[in-house]
Amino acid sequence: MPVLPRIAFRGTSASVRRLISFAVAVAALLLVAPAGAHVYWTNPDIETLGRANTDGSSADQSFVGVVNDPVGVAVTPTHVYWADNAEDAIGEADANGNVQTDDLVDTQWPTGVAVWGNHLYWSACHFDFPGGSLVWVADIGTAKLDGTDAHNLITFDLFHSCPQSIAAAPGPFAGSVALYWQGNVGFNMDCNDPAATHIGRALIENGKVTSNKPCFLSVSEAWGVAANANHVYWTEPGSGMIGRADMDAKNADPSFMTVNPDPASGFSPVGIAVGEGYLPAQGRLYWTDRGAGKVGVGTIGGSVIKSDLVTGASSPNAVAVDPPNQAFRFTQLRPVVQIPPGGHGVLPVVVHSRGTLTLTGPLLKRASKQIGEGGGAVRAKRGANALTANVPVRLKGKAKRRLRRRGTVHVAATVTFRPLGGVGQAKHKHLTLRRQPSRRSALERHR
């Protein structure tokens, strides 16, 4: 946090002094406000990770340097992670691109990495020789973001190749995580199906696998895979297409989006990422063109915006985008909440992405408000870049009785916003709760 300058207040009224102090505090917050969102990609030929703003500006092909063979990339608000196939490890850098460790997690031949909440997930594979035949054994692993508690969630056999990528998204149940991975090229011993490629899916609840479907979706070709709460996407460089299917594998459309009308001209698309955490709900798809060294962007509805958002990349094969914005603010500096008789008040909070708002406090009942996902969730208007959600405020115990008796109660509250797939941010606030007179008593006072 920047050091606030000393300001001489002599001869200034108290109200003006408060206004100046507030303005200085706001200016200090602006100095440390997070920068705009970024898109990241792997540069395996020059052994780096690249980064640019999501509008393509300020591209840096060596944002993270000295990474041996980066084949997957994932990001949180504070760190960048990559799968290093040559080093048999998951590496980690800070938000400024400084390498923290190149072996945060040791795993044989990692092929992709994803982040959801407080956990890393990765796809990897190794050799096995059942009955004397060479077989790839694929692993889906997980660890905490600091690399501890690393272990395999799923292990299965692939006859000809190992998974090329992995993605994490909200599961169909509250608190669950859905993992998707590109399955294989050729006969799969688990699927017993000669179809060219399978996309697998597993559901994770409380750290345990509750559903594992290696043959979740059968497609003609897939290299990269990405997902959100509603759809799974995959890349088909042989046809220059991005495919899409519902989260239950229905309505599969392999030609959902054409990003390379002339597939013979290059190997595109390969990697894919969904940037859908920000409002408005119209999100973005990012993909890599490995042959031309480009990163492209399009709408989540299937329209290409710019096929050369970033140029000059070195055989990029994976892409990621900054997670949803965790910032939020209150509409009032000192919130006053009106509590109607027999009901509850509301605390307006402004957010900039999908997720969950939670209010807690020693004298308050716990309350949550969903933003942008699921039935009954608050949704943004078209074209909006922020949304005001009203979080329910309910007193409990002695505080409830005190409000009835005195008409006003001061309480401490903690508001936490956890964006989809992101890490939560908490703010503490003192609330003034005032009893709203009943309609009958109000009419009696005006007689």
Question: Is 341 found in the same domain as 311?
Answer: no
Q: Which residues pair with 173 in a beta bridge?
A: none
pLDDT reported for residue 197: 80
Question: Is 308 found in the same domain as 188?
Answer: yes
CA-wise closest residue to 372 among 279, 245, 284, 302: 279
pLDDT reported for residue 20: 42
Q: Under 8 Å CB-to-CB from 348, ≥6 apart: which residues?
A: 330, 331, 332, 335, 388, 389, 390, 391
Count of CA atoms in the C-beta half-sphere (13 A) of 78: 10
pLDDT reported for residue 253: 96
Q: 261, 296, 321 — which closes off a domain?
A: 321
Question: Is 179 found in the same domain as 59?
Answer: yes
Q: Under 8 Å CB-to-CB from 266, ≥6 apart: which residues?
A: 260, 289, 290, 291, 292
Planar angle of CA 178, 279, 245, nearest 5 degrees: 35
Phi first, then psi, for residue 30 (nearest 5°) are: -65, -30
pLDDT reported for residue 264: 80
| Ranges under pLDDT 50 in the chain | 1-12, 16-35, 185-187, 278-280, 374-375, 382-383, 442-443, 446
CA-wise closest residue to 437 among 338, 346, 348: 338
Which of the 8 DSSP states describes residue 398? Answer: H
Return the CATH number at 42: 2.120.10.30
In a domain, 10, yes or no: no
Instruction: Give the largest CA-CA distance in the chain.
Output: 96
Range of the domain at 352: 326-441
In a domain, 128, yes or no: yes
In a domain, 28, yes or no: no
Return the CATH number at 365: 2.60.40.10
- Alpha-carbon gap, residue 397 to 363, rounded angstroms: 7
- Alpha-carbon gap, residue 132 to 152, rounded angstroms: 25
pLDDT reported for residue 439: 61
pLDDT reported for residue 36: 63
CA-wise closest residue to 142 among 122, 157, 162: 122
In a domain, 27, yes or no: no
pLDDT reported for residue 278: 46
In a domain, 22, yes or no: no
Question: Is 229 found in the same domain as 295?
Answer: yes
Question: Is 167 found in the same domain as 75?
Answer: yes
In a domain, 32, yes or no: no
Question: Is 303 found in the same domain as 334?
Answer: no
pLDDT reported for residue 164: 83
Q: Which residues pair with 179 in a beta bridge?
A: 168, 202
Question: Is 251 found in the same domain as 400?
Answer: no
In a domain, 106, yes or no: yes
Question: Is 280 found in the same domain as 148?
Answer: yes
pLDDT tens digit string along 412-432? 999 999 887 666 789 999 999
Question: Is 219 found in the same domain as 79?
Answer: yes
Question: Is 289 found in the same domain as 211?
Answer: yes
- Alpha-carbon gap, residue 113 to 121, rounded angstroms: 6
CA-wise closest residue to 349 among 339, 335, 363: 335
Question: Helix (H) and strand (E) counts for the chain?
Answer: 3, 32
CA-wise closest residue to 335 among 354, 348, 344: 348
Which residue has tokens 């990692």? Answer: 110
pLDDT reported for residue 372: 67
In a domain, 144, yes or no: yes
- Alpha-carbon gap, residue 430 to 407, rounded angstroms: 17
pLDDT reported for residue 88: 94
Question: Is 342 found in the same domain as 293?
Answer: no
Q: Which residues pair with 227 in a beta bridge?
A: 232
Domain count, the chain: 2
Q: 273, 298, 321 — which closes off a domain?
A: 321
Question: Is 220 found in the same domain as 109?
Answer: yes
Q: Under 8 Å CB-to-CB from 254, ≥6 apart: which residues?
A: 219, 220, 236, 239, 241, 243
Q: 291, 321, 351 — which closes off a domain?
A: 321
Q: Which helix (H) or strand (E) holds 27?
A: helix 14-31
